[in-house]
Amino acid sequence: MDAAEKILLIVLDGASDRPTYHGKTPFMDATMVHVDKLAKEGILGIMDVIAPGRPPGSDTAHLSLLGYDPCKIYTGRGPFEAAGVGIDVKPGDIAFRGNFATVRDGEVVDRRAGRIRDTHELVQAVQENLDLEAEFIFKESAGHRAAFVLRGENLSPHVTPSDPLHTGKMIEVRPTVDDAASRRTARILNEFTRKVFEILKNNTVNIDREKKGELPGNIVLLRGAGVVPHLQSFEDRWGLKSAVIAATALVIGIGKLTGMDFIPTDGATGGVDTNLTGKIENVNKALKNHDFVLLNIKGADESGHDGDFKKKATFLSRVDRALSNLEIDESMLISVTADHTTPISLREHAGDPVPLLIRGIGVRTDRQQKFDETTAALGGMNRIRGLDIMPTLIDLIGKGKKFGA
Amino acid sequence: MDAAEKILLIVLDGASDRPTYHGKTPFMDATMVHVDKLAKEGILGIMDVIAPGRPPGSDTAHLSLLGYDPCKIYTGRGPFEAAGVGIDVKPGDIAFRGNFATVRDGEVVDRRAGRIRDTHELVQAVQENLDLEAEFIFKESAGHRAAFVLRGENLSPHVTPSDPLHTGKMIEVRPTVDDAASRRTARILNEFTRKVFEILKNNTVNIDREKKGELPGNIVLLRGAGVVPHLQSFEDRWGLKSAVIAATALVIGIGKLTGMDFIPTDGATGGVDTNLTGKIENVNKALKNHDFVLLNIKGADESGHDGDFKKKATFLSRVDRALSNLEIDESMLISVTADHTTPISLREHAGDPVPLLIRGIGVRTDRQQKFDETTAALGGMNRIRGLDIMPTLIDLIGKGKKFGA
């Protein structure tokens, strides 16, 4: 075999970090026998997923990693969330992320309605009773989350969120651009806020919750407005039949919008309690009839946002153990990386480059033997950008597109 | 002396590779005493000649290395080939590469007319008898190759090749853009195909070839359509009087179009049998009255396309021995690199970065002592792009242009 034929891209979401605990990062602290073996057999480098010092969102990061320039196509997170929860969004739709929340006397008292879990009946009540001046789609997502889509002419993503982003006084949506479409969209969203509250305030689910001393989900706060972009399919772009294995709506949504097969995993939660074994089993299966598989594992990011070093390092050790079940053969090119750095110290995304490894036939190996941030910086790849990784992987399987003759 | 004054840029065409043979690349396998000495005395790095993972053509690669952005000026290979075979092309000309081929009953049976060698009489017959609705220039190149140029208003490079690129049915040229110039150009090229066949089919050279059981060169297939760009001269751009020493029409053409002196070498073939000693002698001479010399050595690329590891490594060892005759003095800044990677495993250009070395006064040295792909990745230059190399070299001889004050 002269080159690998298939690509497995493993994104350890938010796993990249800064040294905190005795000068170590979670990658350095974790036991990562299998990943380190890949590092030893392959080549390492560091990668600015967007640009040096620019903290990526998970959305812009994954777009970059898949070879779609977020600077050209990204207007907000809503479209990818909406696609991820199963809304059949269309280019031009205006999409939002939503939260069920609790409002009392015009004040948001809890942005997650007491972390309400089953919102199905509430969503149904809205679907059946809400009437707006534009066509819309409203759908529940995991826990307190939901997605909302406006469809039609004369709409705009240039509006402020209805979500105040912290507890306190409810706010009116305002246009951020002074044109008819933005003014109309703001008006529709304010109408949405008022009417949804009227529909939900006396819903039996909420009355029952209040009786039990739980917070009612009596309002839906929207944010992340974005236009659904027209994306070339991943297969048209790179010539590879592709699948995505992920738990979070956002990554699933990006996969769906780029025409990937989404392969669900029972027990995949997006948290540290996720079903890692199931995900790896799905990868093994998916690689039998796909040329490209994107595996996103989210738990490390959650630990980073929690500021919990031990939780993050322990989860990475678990990921490594699960990877012992990965069926590696020489037709595969494997790349392991993160979509962004989520330092324990910041509890938020940061712009540090992420470590990157590539292992497979024809890869120029280097002398590095461990997968962590500082070792990767000594690797033979040196430093590349997120948008460079797909062309690099495609080229390594012998499918690079020559420029010139 | 505070800085070097002259630059020698040695491009080992296609010499960069991927590890194949016992984990080695040809650079690692070859005996490269002299180049390794330069590596030890200088600084190493890796270079994405176009961009990471983007396989360069030899044409776009050399344009980048000389500081001309191919993304802005490159439309096809034809102009550089045509200039290389000595056609005095002018900006705006539409130029093509051509092959003498054998056609029978409307089918191309051999794209190289049995690797016909002397096409002079055939070319002359075309020159004397061909009449087209636009001004044209037709000239032979090495072996079965030729170049064709259309000149005048209302012409376009947006046409399909008349060369079917493999044996089989002849094809009509079609415009790829729907405008009058493209339609007219396609019509002229189809007229060229028909009329050239009429002129050549009963030519005595071809009748004699058929008698001897050789394939006739009875058609000329065109490809690589491009507009001759207006290129600022190398001397105007970089302030250096320059010369090119190369065997292949393409590199010679790029040199001519940028106003370099072309210094021919007897016995330079572009293959592994080339006259390396003669080329190095010419470099020694050229550096006496030029500030910049581009030396292109092509053989390693040919070996890569042949998939012949031993041939490639042996040729690189020969290049190294020939470099023992290079008269190095401290007025010279020497850079050694490749224009692209041509892996033995792929037999085609690939997008891996190429190794790069720079040696001369004032260069920040590093700890690397060997010129190969993985050692270069550890070098002090880290990773740069092809368009960065000329500004870097110019700056090292103290002629960098300050941006700002």
pLDDT in tens, B306-347: 999 999 999 999 999 999 999 999 999 999 999 999 999 999
CA of B46, closest CA in chain A: separation in Å?
9
Per-residue pLDDT at B254 exceeds 90:
yes
CA of A31, closest CA in chain B: separation in Å?
27
Query: Cα B352–B357–B362 angle (5° rounding)?
Result: 145
Mean pLDDT calculated for residue range B147-162: 97
A395 touches chain B (CB under 8 A): yes
The token pair that represents A97 in the structure block:
């992320």
**What was the ipTM of the complex prediction?**
0.91
Using one digit for the tens of pLDDT, what is the confidence trace for A119-153?
Answer: 999 999 999 999 999 999 999 998 899 999 999 99
pLDDT reported for residue B251: 96
pLDDT reported for residue B2: 87
Do residues A99 and A112 make contact, with C-beta atoms less than 8 angstroms apart?
yes
Which candidate in B20, B47, B74, B352 is best for mutational testing of the A interface (most A CBs within 10 A)?
A: B352
Do residues B55 and A401 make contact, with C-beta atoms less than 8 angstroms apart?
yes
Mean pLDDT calculated for residue range B231-242: 97
Number of H helices, E strands in chain B: 15, 14
Using one digit for the tens of pLDDT, what is the confidence trace for A328-381?
Answer: 999 999 999 999 999 999 999 999 999 999 999 999 999 999 999 999 999 999
Mean pLDDT calculated for residue range A267-272: 91
Q: In this complex, do B346 and A394 lie within 8 Å of one another by their Cβ atoms?
A: no
Where do runs of H (alpha helix) occur along B111-159?
Answer: 120-129
pLDDT reported for residue A395: 98
Q: Show residues of chain B in contact with A364, CB under 8 Å.
A: 18-19, 25, 352, 373-374, 377
Using one digit for the tens of pLDDT, what is the confidence trace for A145-170?
Answer: 999 999 999 999 999 999 999 999 99
Q: In this complex, do A400 and B20 lie within 8 Å of one another by their Cβ atoms?
A: no
The token pair that represents B139 in the structure block:
């000239």
Using one digit for the tens of pLDDT, what is the confidence trace for B43-96?
Answer: 999 999 999 999 999 999 999 999 999 999 999 999 999 999 999 999 999 999
- Among candidates A258, A232, A230, A233, which has minimal Cα distance to A244? A258
Query: What span, in angstroms and rounded, lies between the C-alpha atoms of A3 and A206?
Result: 59
The token pair that represents B179 in the structure block:
């405008």
Q: In this complex, do B46 and A382 lie within 8 Å of one another by their Cβ atoms?
A: yes
A47 touches chain B (CB under 8 A): no
Kindly provide the residue ranges of all beta strands, DSSP E only, lying in A152-276, ordered along the sequence: 168-169, 219-227, 242-245, 261-262
Provide the chain B residues 62-121 that lie in CB contact (below 8 A) with chain A: 70, 74, 76-77
Using one digit for the tens of pLDDT, what is the confidence trace for A225-245?
Answer: 999 999 999 999 999 999 999
pLDDT reported for residue A142: 86
- Among candidates A243, A242, A260, A237, which has minimal Cα distance to A401? A237
- Among candidates B299, B295, B281, B399, which has minimal Cα distance to B337? B295
Q: In this complex, do B18 and A380 lie within 8 Å of one another by their Cβ atoms?
A: no
Per-residue pLDDT at B1 exceeds 80:
no
Provide the chain B residues 323-382 that lie in CB contact (below 8 A) with chain A: 343, 345-346, 348-352, 373-374, 377-378, 382
Using one digit for the tens of pLDDT, what is the confidence trace for B20-35?
Answer: 878 999 999 999 999 9
Across chain B, what does the average pLDDT equal?
A: 96
Q: Show residues of chain B in contact with A380, CB under 8 Å.
A: 374, 377-378
Mean pLDDT calculated for residue range B135-161: 96
Mean pLDDT calculated for residue range B6-16: 98
Do residues B354 and B12 make contact, with C-beta atoms less than 8 angstroms apart?
no
Query: What span, in angstroms and rounded, lies between the C-alpha atoms of B108 and B110?
Result: 6
A228 touches chain B (CB under 8 A): no
Q: In this complex, do A392 and B53 lie within 8 Å of one another by their Cβ atoms?
A: yes
Do residues B150 and B156 make contact, with C-beta atoms less than 8 angstroms apart?
no
Per-residue pLDDT at A21 exceeds 80:
no
Which candidate in A65, A367, A395 is best for mutational testing of the B interface (most B CBs within 10 A)?
A: A395
Do residues B341 and B351 make contact, with C-beta atoms less than 8 angstroms apart?
yes
Q: In this complex, do B345 and A2 lie within 8 Å of one another by their Cβ atoms?
A: yes
Q: Which of B25, B59, B383 sits opposite A404 (nearest CB)?
A: B59
Contacts of B2 (CB under 8 A, 6+ apart): B361, B362, B398
